[in-house]
Structure 1
Amino acid sequence: MIEIKFSKIPRWVEINKIIEQSKHSIVLLKFPKSVYEHPKMQYKLEVLKQEPNIFIEVENSKRGRKKKIDNFTKQKILELLKEGYSLREVGRELGISKSSVWNYAKDYITEIKKEKLKELIWELKETAVEEGWYDYTVQDLFLELEAYINNNDLEKSKEILQKIIEYRHEAIE
């Protein structure tokens, strides 16, 4: 028995070859539903069905691209990344590949990192208030830092953060 799987409409050369093979052996042809039902296949199927040793099977397997990620999953990806999960961990948690996570999240990674940085800066502000070194100078530095972060100027942000750290050391001593 010969088993042949098709993923596209066979050409007449292939059909004739199958008919020739059916003279010596039983031939099982497997077609996806979309190929089997295609208008161009009607006549070819009639010709194949006339041969007694050719059997045709229609597969209902899914073809083509996988479904796009739904909105719930997209939100969950962003939430998990914000919580600090790695791409691999997010993929494992949601049952999707790491590359699918990256393909969706790559546009949002910078924003997620910015938000995480802002959270850390907020915690530093709270510490400054608790330790008693938060004043107008520090407040201005924090405002400047936030502006540079929003403008993606990381070099200036680093400089301002360094000034805040130096100010803290001077205030504590």
Structure 2
Amino acid sequence: MHHNATLTNTSRWLHWAVAIGILLLLCTGFYMATFEVWSLYDWHKTLGVLLLLLLAARAVYRLRRGWLTPAGRYSRFEQAAARWVHWALLLGVFLLPITGLMYSGAGGFGVPVFGWELIPSNYIEGEPVAYNAALSNFGDQAHEILGWLLAVIVGLHMLGALKHHFLDKDDTLKRMLGRARGQD
């Protein structure tokens, strides 16, 4: 695995933009599903599509530049756990919007992006008619399961950052905030 000792402002910006976007979408999705507040649905889909584009940029950037060098020395278990969590985050943040697109697009609900239909809706007499019911049902189930899994993985990632900061007292969190020693 290629490591890069530096953390650029681009990498930091992409990390926080994706992190905030994922947190907003997870919270919105859980809120809509729990309280059946479907008025947020179009915004959820729009932000999901935009985040997918941002995720593509982040993934290309990360894969080209490699993974960051750890800010300290860690056991093999910690290194493996960190690698697993980072790959799970990368995969999860891609699969979650893709399954959302499958559910909504194939289900005939449409996928609007600021009012423009990326995937047209298919309503007949006020009811959505699926383009592909099996694909939509799969997308629906996968989107819900992945949402919960991604929430757990994000929680592990956040706990790891706090562990580095408070227990290990290393620069992991500081460098993600642009405050590590030797950074501007």
What's the TM-score once normalised by structure 2's chain length? 0.28
What's the TM-score once normalised by structure 1's chain length? 0.30
Work out which structure has the larger RCO, using CA pairs closer than 8 Å and 6 or more positions apart in sequence: 2
- Higher relative helix content: 2
- Larger-gyration structure (1/2): 1
